[in-house]
């Protein structure tokens, strides 16, 4: 990200991760610090930054990659700070309640657009992106191109300001 910023190249993040491993050994290797540094780098960019949640955007790793001016999300993707299984194990000490957790967490593209967490839902072909990858790729490419064109009018400070305001507003928009 820093090199893209230095050479004035827009950043495109394709996010499809179940998330970071929550073990002690991962923390001992600096996982939380790496996520924090990535988040900080994304927020500080002076170039357009677009993220696309493709399948699963889970945990701090996904959020760090999606600290973008525009966050797009495929129609059937999910995006969350914790997996439904992880939430169920914390809330009910029972991972079999993952479906209940997922429903209550509001992790679908429709929910996240309503709350202002994402900016745009990218429609998938009937049956999902895997049924017609070419159509899914084309729709995603068009959405990314439109987002980058929209951001092209902002200067470096304007891009940072827009990104900061976007993230400060998350959660203030009621569905």
pLDDT 10s digits, 131-141: 999 999 999 99
Q: How confident is the model at residue 175 (pLDDT cuts 50, 70, 90)?
A: low
- Calculate the average pLDDT of the chain: 92
Residue 174 belongs to a domain:
no
- Residue 175: inside a domain: no
Q: State residue 173's pLDDT score.
A: 64
Q: Indicate whether 87 pLDDT > 90.
A: no
Domain count, the chain: 1
Judge whether 36 and 146 are in contact, CB under 8 Å: no
As a whole number, mean pLDDT of residues 150-161 equals 97
Cα–Cα dist 11/159, whole Å:
12
Residue 153 above 90 pLDDT?
Answer: yes
**Rounded to 5°, angle at Cα 67 from 168 and 114:** 60
Residue 167 predicted with pLDDT over 60: yes
CATH of the domain at 124: 3.90.226.10
**Host domain of residue 49:** 2-169
Residues in the chain: 175
Q: Is the pLDDT of residue 105 over 70?
A: yes
pLDDT confidence band for 160 (50 / 70 / 90): very high
Residue 143 has pLDDT above 90, yes or no: yes
What is the band of 144 on the pLDDT scale with cuts at 50, 70, 90? Answer: very high
Q: Is residue 53 part of a domain?
A: yes
In the numeric block, which tokens belong to residue 79? 């995006």
Could you read off the pLDDT of 9-37 as tens digits, one per residue?
A: 999 999 998 877 777 887 888 888 998 99
* Token pair 């959660």: residue: 171
Is residue 38's pLDDT more than 70?
A: yes
Question: How far is 37 from 76, CA to CA, in rounded Å?
Answer: 29
pLDDT value at residue 36: 92
CB crowding 131-159: b at 16 or more within 10 Å, else e: eeeeebeebbeebbeebbeebeebeeeeb
In a domain, 99, yes or no: yes
Average pLDDT on 157-170 reads 93
Ramachandran region, residue 63 (left: φ > 0; alpha: ψ -120 to 50; beta: rest): alpha
pLDDT of residue 2: 93
């Amino acid at each position: 990200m820093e090199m893209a910023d230095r050479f004035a190249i827009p950043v495109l993040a394709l996010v499809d991760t179940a998330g970071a491993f929550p073990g002690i050994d991962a923390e001992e290797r600096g996982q939380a610090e790496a996520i924090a540094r990535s988040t900080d780098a994304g927020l500080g960019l002076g170039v357009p930054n677009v993220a696309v949640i493709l399948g699963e955007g889970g945990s701090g790793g996904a959020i760090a990659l999606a600290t973008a001016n525009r966050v797009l999300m495929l129609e059937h993707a999910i995006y969350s700070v914790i997996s439904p299984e992880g939430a169920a194990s914390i809330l009910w000490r029972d991972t079999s309640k993952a479906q209940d957790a997922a429903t209550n967490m509001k992790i679908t593209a429709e929910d996240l657009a309503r709350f202002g967490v994402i900016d745009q839902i990218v429609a998938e072909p009937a049956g999902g992106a895997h049924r017609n990858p070419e159509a899914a790729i084309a729709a995603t490419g068009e959405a990314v191109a439109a987002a980058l064109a929209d951001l092209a009018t902002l200067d470096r400070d304007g891009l940072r300001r827009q990104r900061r305001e976007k993230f400060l507003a998350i959660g203030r928009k009621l569905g």
